[in-house]
């Protein structure tokens, strides 16, 4: 029986952090045997906000190496760079022409990012969800493993697929999000009411990067915001402690009851020590693999070329089908 197809992407903006890993990439790695997998470094999404071209190029390759270090296995998964397959932007245009402006203006990520960058609100940022729909629909993907913040965009991709199929004939698979129960929304350590985000990297204690050293991890976790209650429980109302416990749970894979029992007689000092230890041990193999892979540029380029070739075959066929259905010559 053919396996269902999974597609997901990650932007090469800033350093990949614990939220990206626990909310998305870890899920990609762990489910590689269950699906046909296509993973993409979405650099065309990155330019919806201003980027330094030289740094963007470097970060794109760094992120590819990091995904391999996290455990993306090129024998089981296709890994490629979005801008190498032109059909992503071509299909995005077709989808832009059937997406109501009202739907795009409801996207919370557009509202958040335009508020954060009031001087750089470009049309690309507004149209970002159509490029994301194109990424997913181009590969006729059944599932899209993402963090909770991307749920709204996947709903839009579903609506777009349904609209296209209705108006032009059955073409796209209507995709479904795959969102983890734990880790779907890791919050900022400095402000646990806001999601951990690459674009807040100017705040030194906001996020843990996958390449942080053990000392840096200990320091950041020590400074993480908690509260004055002193009770260690999975209580969503107490966002700081809840966030630390969630991170711990993602690494130790125990249920909430046993974790609460483990800490029932402990204070926040011990909680922070154990959370830091769990992160350091969980990220150690990734950091070690990354430090080797980043030196093997030929190997990296070979994998990316092979990935782009596989992706191109599917992209060419789907785009030709969609284009013809819309009457484009």
Active site residues: 113, 195, 198
> What would the two tokens of residue 143 be?
């599932």
Q: Which stretch binds ligand AQP (CB under 6 A): 197-205, 226-234, 276-284, 294-302?
A: 197-205
By CB under 6 A, tell whether 153 contacts ligand AQP: no
Q: How far apart are CA 317 and CA 314, in angstroms?
A: 5
Residue 25 per-residue DSSP state: I
Among positive and negative, which fits the CA dihedral 293, 296, 297, 302?
A: negative
Residue 265 beta carbon to ligand AQP: minimum distance, rounded to whole angstroms: 30
Question: Would you give the binding string for ligand AQP spanning residues 259-278, x where CB under 6 A is met?
Answer: --------------------
**Using CB under 6 A, which of 62, 135, 149, 190 touches ligand AQP?**
149
198 versus 272: smaller Cβ distance to ligand AQP = 198
By CB under 6 A, tell whether 142 contacts ligand AQP: no
**Using CB under 6 A, which of 6, 7, 15, 20 touches ligand AQP?**
20
171-190 residues in contact with ligand AQP (CB under 6 A) are 184-186
Asked if residue 271 lies in contact with residue 210, where contact means CB atoms within 8 angstroms, the answer is: no
Asked if residue 186 lies in contact with residue 22, where contact means CB atoms within 8 angstroms, the answer is: yes
184 versus 217: smaller Cβ distance to ligand AQP = 184
Asked if residue 164 lies in contact with residue 95, where contact means CB atoms within 8 angstroms, the answer is: yes
Q: What are phi and psi of 102, to 5 degrees?
A: -60, -40
By CB under 6 A, tell whether 136 contacts ligand AQP: no
Q: How far apart are CA 107 and CA 86, in angstroms?
A: 25
Residue 52 beta carbon to ligand AQP: minimum distance, rounded to whole angstroms: 15
By CB under 6 A, tell whether 240 contacts ligand AQP: no
Residue bearing tokens 């053919």: 2
By CB under 6 A, tell whether 88 contacts ligand AQP: no
**Using CB under 6 A, which of 90, 114, 152, 199 touches ligand AQP?**
199
**Using CB under 6 A, which of 23, 192, 240, 307 touches ligand AQP?**
23
By CB under 6 A, tell whether 314 contacts ligand AQP: no
Q: How far is CA 113 from CA 50, 153, 171, 197, 322, in A?
A: 12, 14, 32, 11, 31
**Which helix (H) or strand (E) segment is 298 a member of?**
helix 297-325
By CB under 6 A, tell whether 243 contacts ligand AQP: no
Residue 109 beta carbon to ligand AQP: minimum distance, rounded to whole angstroms: 7
Q: Which stretch binds ligand AQP (CB under 6 A): 17-25, 65-73, 97-105, 279-287?
A: 17-25
Q: Please give the residue whose beta carbon sits closest to ligand AQP in the complex.
A: 23
**Using CB under 6 A, which of 26, 59, 158, 198 touches ligand AQP?**
198
Residue 198 beta carbon to ligand AQP: minimum distance, rounded to whole angstroms: 4
Q: How far is CA 242 from CA 19, 163, 189, 227, 233, in A?
A: 14, 40, 11, 11, 7
Residue bearing tokens 């335009």: 114
Q: How far apart are CA 133 and CA 228, in angstroms?
A: 44
Tell whether residue 13 is among the known ligand binding residues. Answer: yes
Q: How far apart are CA 64 and CA 289, in angstroms?
A: 12
Q: How far apart are CA 253 and CA 211, in angstroms?
A: 22
Q: How far apart are CA 113 and CA 108, in angstroms?
A: 8
Task: Specify binding-site residues for ATP.
Answer: 11-13, 19-20, 147-149, 186, 195-199
Report the interface residues with ligand AQP, using CB under 6 A: 9-11, 13, 19-20, 23-24, 146-147, 149-150, 184-186, 195-199
């Amino acid at each position: 029986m053919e396996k269902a197809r999974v597609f997901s992407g990650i932007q090469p903006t800033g350093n990949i952090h614990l939220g990206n890993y626990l909310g998305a990439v870890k899920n990609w790695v762990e489910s590689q045997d269950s699906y046909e997998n296509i993973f993409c470094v979405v650099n065309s999404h990155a330019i919806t906000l201003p980027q330094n071209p030289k740094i963007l190029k470097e970060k794109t390759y760094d992120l590819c190496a990091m995904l391999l270090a996290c455990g993306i296995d090129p024998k089981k998964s296709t890994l490629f760079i979005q801008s190498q397959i032109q059909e992503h932007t071509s299909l995005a245009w077709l989808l832009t022409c059937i997406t109501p402006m009202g739907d795009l203006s409801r996207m919370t990520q557009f509202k958040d990012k335009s508020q954060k960058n009031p001087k750089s609100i470009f049309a690309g940022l507004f149209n970002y969800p159509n490029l994301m729909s194109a990424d997913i629909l181009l590969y006729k993907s059944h599932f899209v493993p993402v963090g909770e913040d991307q749920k709204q965009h996947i709903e839009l991709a579903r609506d777009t697929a349904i609209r296209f199929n209705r108006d032009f004939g059955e073409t796209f698979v209507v995709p479904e999000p795959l969102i983890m129960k734990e880790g779907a929304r890791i919050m900022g350590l400095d402000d646990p009411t806001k999601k951990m985000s690459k674009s807040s990297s100017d705040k030194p204690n906001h996020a843990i990067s996958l390449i942080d050293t053990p000392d840096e991890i200990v320091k950041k976790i020590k400074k993480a915001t908690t509260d004055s209650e002193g009770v260690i429980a999975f209580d969503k109302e107490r966002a700081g402690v809840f966030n630390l416990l969630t991170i711990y749970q993602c690494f130790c894979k125990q249920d909430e009851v046993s974790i609460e029992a483990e800490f029932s007689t402990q204070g926040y000092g011990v909680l922070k020590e154990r959370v830091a230890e769990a992160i350091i041990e969980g990220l150690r193999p990734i950091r070690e693999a990354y430090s080797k892979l980043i030196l093997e540029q030929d190997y990296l380029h070979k994998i990316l070329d092979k990935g782009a070739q596989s992706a191109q075959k599917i992209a060419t066929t789907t785009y030709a089908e969609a284009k013809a259905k819309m009457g484009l010559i």
